[in-house]
Amino acid sequence: MIEYSSQPHYLVAVDCIVFGFEDGRLKLLLVKRGLQPEINKWSLIGGFVGPEESTDDAAIRVLKKNTGLDGIYLEQFKVYGKPDRDPIERTLSVAYFALIDIQKYSNQLNTYYHAEWFPINESPQLIFDHDTMVADARKRLRYKAALHPVLFELLPKKFTLPQLQLLFEEVNHMKIDTGNFNRKMNSTGLLIRLQEKDKSSSKKGAYYFKLNHKRYESDFHLILNLIPGLKLDL
């Protein structure tokens, strides 16, 4: 402790980038900041790490307190520590991204902090370095989605191929040929076709599918062939 006493002390915060998918759009959950500086401006969901909690525990607590969300996919991806990122005091921020099915968790969201969904490409300017965090989180999501079944956290348990294609297009920020996508996806064996159809868009309807988790765990690399020109460098 004697050796540490002369070292500078900093604040530690967590910030959560919450992604959702609705009506064919990748969305971002934002709140109005409740304290100075930048009070009432749009912000990521964040807060300070308590003296008796880990950063993971803090992220879970902050999400539940500010939005009501609990029990969702949450992953730490980067630490932000520029000396001037917070104008009040030197603060390190541990960033997490979260993935949720908007419809499944819509009843959990509270309105006290004015939590609101925005299409990812139409979100307002955010405070501090939060726009950079969102851009970095989107890159991380694209990387993870190529190697693990994380995108299915954004979908209901049963979904259609058009829904899945739109999600891949939104996350990877590119258009994908429908015929090639359907043919390649069906050939992977990663999906199980159900007998039900979604007829909300046409009389013919589109079959519902669900993820074959067992096959995905052994053959997750097959997803790489679905997205032409996909780059995994971060």
For the chain, the structural domain boundaries read 11-147, 155-226
The DSSP bridge pattern shows strands 116-119 and 91-100 to be unpaired
- DSSP secondary structure, 97-150, as one string: EEEE-HHHHTTT--TTTT-EEEEGGGPPP-STTHHHHHHHHHHHHHHHHHHSGG
**pLDDT, tens digit, for every residue of 50-62?**
999 999 999 999 9
Cis peptide before 37 (omega within 30 of 0): yes
Average pLDDT value over all residues in the chain? 87
Report the predicted TM-score, pTM, of the whole model to 2 decimal places.
Answer: 0.87
Query: Token digits for 158?
Result: 């049963």
CATH superfamily of 11-147: Nucleoside Triphosphate Pyrophosphohydrolase (3.90.79.10)
Identical fold between 11-147 and 155-226: no
Pick 155-226's CATH classification: 1.10.540.10, 3.30.470.30, 1.10.10.10, 3.90.330.10: 1.10.10.10
What is the gyration radius of the CA atoms in the chain, in angstroms?
A: 20
pLDDT of residue 187: 85
**pLDDT, tens digit, for every residue of 95-107?**
999 998 888 877 7
Q: Is the pLDDT of residue 154 over 90?
A: yes
